[in-house]
Copies of this chain bind each other. A is one copy, B any other.
Amino acid sequence: MDAPTTRTDNKASTELYSDEELRDAMELLFFSYRDLIREPDAILEEYNFGRAHHRVIHFVGRNPDITVTHLLSILRITKQSLSRVLSQLVRENFIQQLEGPIDRRQRLLSLTQKGYELEDDLSRDQRNRITSAFVRAGPEAVNAFYKVLLNMMNNSEEFKQRAGT
């Protein structure tokens, strides 16, 4: 490698994981993420939808009767950004908005039958991919996979709590 010393200056070759190994891990995440969204991307195109629509469909599907505010906090986008996507999904009857029974300002979001069907379609290849990856790697590997990713992210406690239900 003809990289200058700043790069190869690895602090210590005695360290557990080399910088290059860590960069490998990052690429692995990059490539597997890319391959995971490839098929849904193709399906979305048929509807003239984009990834933003997929994310909304996914999180509304997993959190029936979610409020707009809560959805915004998960997606971490602005109201205006969500608006375009969400109003399209409502207009085309993939998502329905119901007035909150307690707080009538709220518009509780949920998937319609049509929305569930699209979600099923969009996630099919992803579920197949993950299943086959889990099966091929074995059950201990699945736990390890969860452990590593949870350690990588910020609010892992919150996630575990949600996923545990």
Contacts and interface: CB of A to CB of B under 8 A. Distances in A.
A148 B141 contact: yes
A23 interface: yes
A28 interface: yes
B148 A25 contact: no
A63 to B, nearest CB: 11
A23 B165 CA distance: 13
Contact of A31 (B116, B145, B159): B159
B22 A127 contact: yes
Interface residues of A, number: 67
A141 B164 CA distance: 21
Contacts of A32: 29, 149-150, 152-153
A113 B6 CA distance: 8
A54 to B, nearest CB: 11
Interface of A: 1-4, 6-7, 16-17, 19, 22-29, 31-36, 38, 58, 61-62, 64, 76, 110-111, 113, 116-117, 119-120, 123, 126-127, 129-138, 140-155, 159, 163
A163 B61 CA distance: 37
B150 A28 contact: yes
Contacts of A76: 34
A121 to B, nearest CB: 10
A16 B113 contact: no
Contacts of A155: 31
A138 B147 CA distance: 9
Contacts of A133: 148-149, 151-152
Contacts of A138: 144
